[in-house]
């Protein structure tokens, strides 16, 4: 049994989901889990006797222009490392979380091991502000072990940071108890979706990198050939632009803006195809969520997406911005029920064989055991 601290951004986002689900599964396996986060992780929705939550409290002392989150976190980490006698501190993101963990390790009396998981966001930060390069490199190199969510992210990190640090690939996973296909035709009816209509779904935080316009443009071609509806799930900075484009293309009665939703697996269960046209994506957890619910995907050939979608088997890959090709593939798939069924079964099997939670959680446990052996 290990005592493991976990730090992530607790908001709705792939990295927070992975960190929280990992903690829940490790607790089920008998490990003691201590979440050290600024608020309760949103997926931490059940009580478990081996899961603890330590809130990082931000001080609003008037001399500080901004509340010092990083220092408050490091101080909380150091306190939890000593009081709870942590063996491992698993942090998600090199910046700031690995850097905070290193500071906490220096402050604490215990020889805790630091495992850092990269989700891609550090690289995005670097793309915007190169002054953080040395800080991210430090966070990575001073960690006892580093993992990344795709081969593509390992390469990108090494190219941009210039480090020789070993980075192990551990893919994303889903909680299969929640993500599986359910018989929910009634929900579709409640949304006004007719039985014969095909349902295309896009789920994201509506940031610019997600290229929502490309999703809507792809759907605009699809709807000419296939009677269909587009579900847009999520919210974010590009939301109002997406609404405007929908109005411009006169798609209001075919595109449903659902906003942020909790029961994503229910919405996937009424969907036939998932579309992700991102320009950056280190893995694309939503693709795996779709696969687990027997939904094939069309995605761009960028970042880690080609490591998730098997072209012409579980879905299709297209070049960034190629909405014509994306719609051609979608029409091919949605117009042939036998092919669609085949792809949905391939997607489900691929998720089970390569990304099953039991495989992935064991890979993290191996990493923990290896760093503890070096003690």
Give residues in contact with ligand GMT (CB under 6 A): 13-15, 18, 119-121, 149, 172, 205, 207, 209, 280-285
| CB-nearer residue toward ligand GMT: 264 or 334 | 264
Residue pair 256/361 in contact (Cβ under 8 Å)? The answer is no
Distance of closest approach, residue 107 Cβ to ligand GMT, in angstroms: 27
| CB-nearer residue toward ligand GMT: 84 or 321 | 321
Distance of closest approach, residue 208 Cβ to ligand GMT, in angstroms: 10
Counting every residue written for the chain, the total comes to 375
Residue pair 212/204 in contact (Cβ under 8 Å)? The answer is yes
| CB-nearer residue toward ligand GMT: 82 or 235 | 235
| CB-nearer residue toward ligand GMT: 51 or 286 | 286
- Torsion angles phi and psi, residue 71, rounded to 5: -70, -40
Cα(202)–Cα(287) distance, rounded to whole angstroms? 10
> CA nearest 100: which of 136, 154, 131, 126?
136
Distance of closest approach, residue 318 Cβ to ligand GMT, in angstroms: 17
Distance of closest approach, residue 169 Cβ to ligand GMT, in angstroms: 12
Distance of closest approach, residue 149 Cβ to ligand GMT, in angstroms: 4
- Contacts of 45 by beta carbon, 8 Å cutoff, 6+ apart: none
| CB-nearer residue toward ligand GMT: 96 or 284 | 284
Q: What is the 3-state secondary structure (H, E, C) of 240-288?
A: HHHHHHHHHCCCCCCEEEEECCCCHHHHHHCCCEEEECCCCCCCCHHHH
Cα(143)–Cα(133) distance, rounded to whole angstroms? 16
Residue with tokens 């793309």: 127
- Contacts of 315 by beta carbon, 8 Å cutoff, 6+ apart: 274, 287, 296, 297, 298, 299, 309, 343, 347
| CB-nearer residue toward ligand GMT: 15 or 218 | 15
Distance of closest approach, residue 37 Cβ to ligand GMT, in angstroms: 13
| CB-nearer residue toward ligand GMT: 17 or 77 | 17
Q: Which residue is nearest to ligand GMT (CB)?
A: 14
Judge if the upstream peptide bond of residue 96 is cis by omega within 30 degrees of 0.
yes
Cα(167)–Cα(297) distance, rounded to whole angstroms? 28
Gyration radius of the chain's alpha carbons: 21
Distance of closest approach, residue 15 Cβ to ligand GMT, in angstroms: 3
Strand (E) or helix (H) holding 190: helix 185-190
> CA nearest 271: which of 210, 328, 214, 343?
343
| CB-nearer residue toward ligand GMT: 211 or 223 | 211
Distance of closest approach, residue 121 Cβ to ligand GMT, in angstroms: 4
């Amino acid at each position: 049994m290990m005592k493991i601290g976990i730090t992530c951004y607790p908001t709705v986002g792939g990295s927070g989901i992975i960190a929280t689900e990992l903690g829940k599964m490790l607790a089920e396996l008998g490990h003691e889990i201590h979440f050290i986060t600024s608020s309760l992780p949103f997926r931490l929705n059940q009580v478990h006797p081996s899961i603890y939550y330590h809130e990082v409290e931000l001080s609003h002392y008037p001399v500080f222009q901004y509340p010092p989150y990083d220092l408050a976190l490091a101080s909380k980490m150091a306190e939890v490392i000593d009081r709870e006698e942590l063996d491992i501190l698993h942090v998600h993101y090199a910046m700031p979380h690995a850097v905070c963990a290193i500071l906490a390790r220096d402050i604490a009396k215990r020889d805790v091991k630091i495992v850092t998981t990269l989700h891609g966001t550090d690289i995005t930060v670097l793309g915007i502000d190169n002054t953080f390069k040395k800080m991210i490199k430090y966070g990575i190199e001073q960690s006892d072990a580093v993992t990344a969510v795709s081969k593509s992210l390992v390469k990108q990190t090494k190219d941009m940071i210039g480090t020789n640090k070993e980075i192990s690939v551990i893919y994303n996973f889903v909680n299969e108890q929640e993500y599986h296909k359910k018989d929910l035709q009634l929900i579709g009816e409640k949304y006004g979706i007719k039985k014969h209509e095909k349902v295309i779904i896009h789920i994201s935080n509506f940031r610019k990198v997600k290229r929502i316009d490309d999703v809507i443009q792809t759907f605009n071609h699809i709807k000419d050939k296939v009677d269909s509806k587009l579900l847009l799930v999520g919210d974010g900075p590009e939301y109002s632009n997406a609404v405007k484009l929908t109005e411009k293309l006169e798609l209001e009665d075919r595109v449903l803006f659902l906003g942020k939703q909790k029961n994503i697996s229910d919405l996937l269960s009424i969907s036939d195809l998932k579309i992700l046209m991102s320009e950056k994506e280190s893995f694309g957890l939503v693709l795996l969520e779709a696969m687990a619910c027997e939904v094939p995907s069309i995605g761009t050939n960028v970042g880690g997406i080609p490591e998730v979608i098997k072209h012409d088997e579980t879905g299709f890959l297209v070049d960034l911005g190629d909405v014509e090709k994306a719609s051609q593939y979608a029409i091919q798939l949605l117009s042939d029920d036998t092919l669609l069924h085949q792809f949905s079964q391939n997607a489900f099997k691929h998720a089970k064989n390569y990304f099953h939670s039991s495989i992935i959680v064991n890979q993290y446990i191996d990493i923990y055991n290896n760093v503890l052996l070096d003690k």
